[in-house]
Amino acid sequence: MNQFGKSPVMNFSLLDLMKGKALRTSLILFLAFSFSGCYPYFFKDRMFRSEGMGFFTIDVSDLPEFDKTSKNEDVKLEHPIQLDQAKIKDYFGNLRYSKRSSVGYFSDFVFSDHELDLLARDLPYTLKNLPNDKLLLIISKYDDTQSVISFDEVTSCVLWAGEGKINILFGRIKRELVDREAALDFSRWTRIEKIRLAHGYDGTEIAEGENVDFGQIDGLPLRKWVVFDLKNPSKYKFTPRKQYQPVKLTDENDRP
């Protein structure tokens, strides 16, 4: 008790309490914005995951300049999407990418055989549950070589449907994860750079093909933005890949 007969605790005013709450709220907001600045999809919502696949929903605002994807000012998303496993392979299975290296240009499939099987198995589930106001963020991790000296590689893309078309905007394609610990931690290998609707070059792009159509930004094809026509599904047909088998030697004379 003090000289006025009041407990020191009672001197703690409502204003002080409000200041304390405001300080805590400011701290929380500061931390949230700090983390979201480091990882642009910090607030993404997970829909589904498997060992090497992550599917998330993100807001339209998370894809800058999304309004440029349509001739209309108001881009209307056509979600959910009904596709079976066979159709997923038809759309994704023939996509190839080209990569520039010190020895020239390298080209291969965007999704490896087993990786494609996993995508075809899991993607239909997420598409049929995709909200009509969200975009789908896909992150895939796979090791093509499967050797003791090889590493997992990450591919990321954003998918949405509108105006009778499926759009796939790629971010990183087959980017090597040199940190083995990161490859084992789902929360780490799904931290990716922001995917943008803008022209740029990071060494990889989707290779041109017979049935590959690119979206355009400012009248120029963006070679990481692939567009599939849902009104003409027969245009896309998965071509099974050649399976290379070891050469069988039938005679001593066959040996090198």
What does the pLDDT read at residue 64?
84
Between these two residues, 178 and 42, which has the higher pLDDT value? 178
Q: Is the pLDDT assigned to residue 248 strictly greater than 70?
A: no
Asked whether residue 153 is domain-assigned, the answer is yes
What does the pLDDT read at residue 68?
79
Give the integer Cα–Cα distance in Å for 40 and 31.
Answer: 14
H/E element, 104: strand 104-109
What does the pLDDT read at residue 19?
53
In percent, the amount of the chain with pLDDT more than 70 equals: 77
Give the integer Cα–Cα distance in Å for 214 and 225.
Answer: 6
DSSP-derived 3-state class of residue 31: helix
Asked whether residue 248 is domain-assigned, the answer is no
Report pLDDT digits (tens) over 218-236.
889 999 999 999 999 999 9
pLDDT category of residue 83 using cuts at 50, 70 and 90: very high
Asked whether residue 223 is domain-assigned, the answer is yes
Name the residue among 228, 116, 112 with its Cα closest to residue 174: 112
Cα–Cα–Cα angle for 17, 22, 26, nearest 5°?
150
Asked whether residue 192 is domain-assigned, the answer is yes
> Which neighbouring-strand residues pair with 54?
49, 139
What does the pLDDT read at residue 43?
62
Q: What is the number of structural domains in the chain?
A: 1
Average pLDDT for 59-85: 87
pLDDT category of residue 93 using cuts at 50, 70 and 90: very high
Supply the DSSP string of 152-207, one letter for each residue. -EEEEEEEEEETTEEEEEE--SSEE---HHHHH-HHHHT--PPP-SS---SSEEEP
- Domain extent, residue 134, equals 39-235
Report pLDDT digits (tens) over 160-216.
999 999 999 999 999 999 888 888 888 889 999 999 999 888 889 999 988 999 999
Strand order in the sheet with 96-101: 104-109, 96-101, 204-206
Give the integer Cα–Cα distance in Å for 124 and 128.
Answer: 6
What does the pLDDT read at residue 45?
82
Alpha carbon separation from 88 to 68, 97, 119, 187, 214 (Å, rounded): 26, 18, 8, 26, 18
Give the integer Cα–Cα distance in Å for 151 and 145.
Answer: 8
